[in-house]
Amino acid sequence: MTAPSYRCGLGATLYINRNDKLLLAGFFSAKLRQAQPFVLTDSKPYVQAFEKLCRGEFASSPRVSTYLSTASRFQVSKRYVSGLAILPSDYSSRNAPNCNNPACQICNFIHLQEECVVRHVTTADILNGTVTLPFTSRTLWFSNQTECSDLRRTVAHLRQGKLTNIKDIKRYLNVASLANDGLLVVKRNLPFTPCRELIIVPRQVLDGLITSIHIKLDHPSCHQMKSILQRYFYALDTDKAIESVTSSCHQCVSLLKTPKVREEQNSAEPLKLLVQHLPQMS
């Protein structure tokens, strides 16, 4: 089975060996009319909307229109099937496991389609676990950690079992550990949740990371930023860096409530105060 290297569509070529000869057994491509793929779904409204599109009619719903435009781009035909007939696939689609394989063609295909549109990521989605926080590539963070002298020394001390008197490195050694891929992480255990590995962020890139996340998530508050970073990253003096980035953000500063003007109050009677001010007014 050989697959093409194009990222614009899914395809495969199947060969068969007959009498020591390699013969073409089958070919599939999402771009060819001869290999028209059919998608079976239990959503009747989408099938009816697709049938209306085939008749030259259009849907008024923006979501349905976006779905139909994607289906038309890949020349996919839709057919209705009862949900009781596809219980295993229906359960798998609603409870899909996370795929961490970088060579997965389906994940790369979905990622390519997501890059073509604007995706709005909210703070609530990340805290709920429905969306993964950007900037969490372990390969890139491994290269960033190797460029930091403090983290290089921390890795060396962890492997050799030596102690040090350097303050920052001692703080790293108290919590850090090496992952299977060589990344320096901090293991965080919470009740009723699996163990999570927090990526250690070097000091020199911490401000840039916080600024990027702050802009990406549409300027969340300091408490929200702390909750998000503590879910995926670990860094020294994170709270100070978050407060510094938030206080230097012009949009966040413009939305702060200005304090009211303080008025001096006195317990004296109003008439006495008026008598005291009369000579000054004259």
How far is CA 140 from each of CA 146, 223, 260, rounded to the nearest angstrom?
Answer: 10, 27, 48
Q: What is the pTM of this model?
A: 0.52
Cβ proximity of 136 and 199 under 8 Å: yes
Question: Per mean pLDDT, which range of 62-76, 126-140, 262-276 is the poorest?
Answer: 262-276
Q: What is the pLDDT of residues 36-74, one digit of tens each?
A: 667 778 888 888 888 888 887 777 777 777 777 777 777
> What pLDDT score was predicted for residue 274?
56
One-letter amino acid at 93 equals S
Confidence of residue 141 (pLDDT cuts 50, 70, 90): very high
Q: In the CATH hierarchy, which top-level class contains the domain 123-254?
A: mainly alpha
Domains of the chain, by residue range, sit at 13-116, 123-254
Beta-ladder partners of 13: 2, 27
Q: What is the pLDDT of residues 222-248, one digit of tens each?
A: 999 999 998 899 999 999 999 999 888
